[in-house]
């Protein structure tokens, strides 16, 4: 069994990693500015699911392959980057629909399933978290206790839980700012475009971020 000190140490390290704004946080803020609080929070949940899929992958050995293979890492990175750029372009293209919907009194929302799916894709393709899991998770397990993959999956579950809490704060803050902007159609259209540009910029930055190997 893992000791309590190991669990607490990993939890503290996870808080530090999650607190530093990365792809998931920036995507959540962009989603909150583009479509609102509900969709941003669903995105946070989806992202947590995607991140935990990374934990499972690392636990069963895929993480080792990603760590050793620049090609596999690059494929994951580019798929995630391309998806973010696509979502950003869509947000910019449809930014006027938000203003039109408000003028008609119709709430602008994304289907719950789509918001969750988008979050999962971003979480799965997040290079920051998968590298963290590959490097850190094995360090906090106890090989002598056996069942190391199970230990990694149990320990790794702390990360998405912490991410949901901290990322939700970002989502709520950004959504609150969006409410202020919504008092003016022009402001809201600007916000929609800004959120889209954030997603595109994030996708581009991920695409050009390389590995030392």
Q: How high is the pLDDT of residue 209?
A: 62
Q: Count of H helices and E strands in the chain?
A: 11, 0
Phi first, then psi, for residue 199 (nearest 5°) are: -65, -45
Answer for the pair 30, 170: CB distance below 8 angstroms, yes or no.
no
Q: Is the pTM here over 0.75, yes or no?
A: no
pLDDT in tens, 95-129: 666 555 444 444 456 788 999 999 999 899 887 78
What DSSP state is assigned to residue 196? H
Stretch 178-202: mean pLDDT: 69
- Give the distance from CA 168 to its chain's centroid: 11
Answer for the pair 32, 171: CB distance below 8 angstroms, yes or no.
yes
């Amino acid at each position: 069994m893992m000791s309590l000190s190991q669990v607490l140490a990993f939890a503290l390290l996870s808080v530090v990693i999650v607190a530093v704004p990365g792809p998931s946080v920036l995507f959540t803020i962009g989603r909150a500015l583009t479509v609102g609080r509900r969709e941003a929070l669903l995105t946070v949940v989806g992202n947590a699911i995607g991140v935990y899929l990374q934990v499972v992958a690392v636990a069963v050995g895929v993480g080792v392959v990603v760590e050793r293979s620049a090609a596999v890492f690059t494929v994951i990175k580019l798929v995630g980057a391309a998806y973010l750029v696509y979502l950003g372009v869509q947000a910019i293209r449809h930014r006027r629909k938000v203003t039109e919907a408000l003028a008609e009194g119709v709430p602008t929302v994304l289907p719950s399933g789509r918001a969750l799916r988008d979050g999962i894709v971003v979480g799965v393709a997040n290079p920051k978290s998968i590298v963290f899991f590959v490097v850190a998770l094995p360090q906090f397990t106890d090989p002598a206790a056996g069942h190391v993959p199970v230990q990694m999956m149990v320990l790794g579950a702390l990360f998405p839980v912490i991410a949901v809490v901290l990322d939700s704060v970002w989502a709520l803050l950004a959504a609150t700012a969006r409410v202020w902007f919504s008092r003016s159609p022009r402001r809201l259209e600007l916000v929609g475009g800004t959120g889209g540009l954030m997603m595109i910029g994030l996708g581009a930055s991920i695409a050009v971020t390389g590995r030392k190997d």
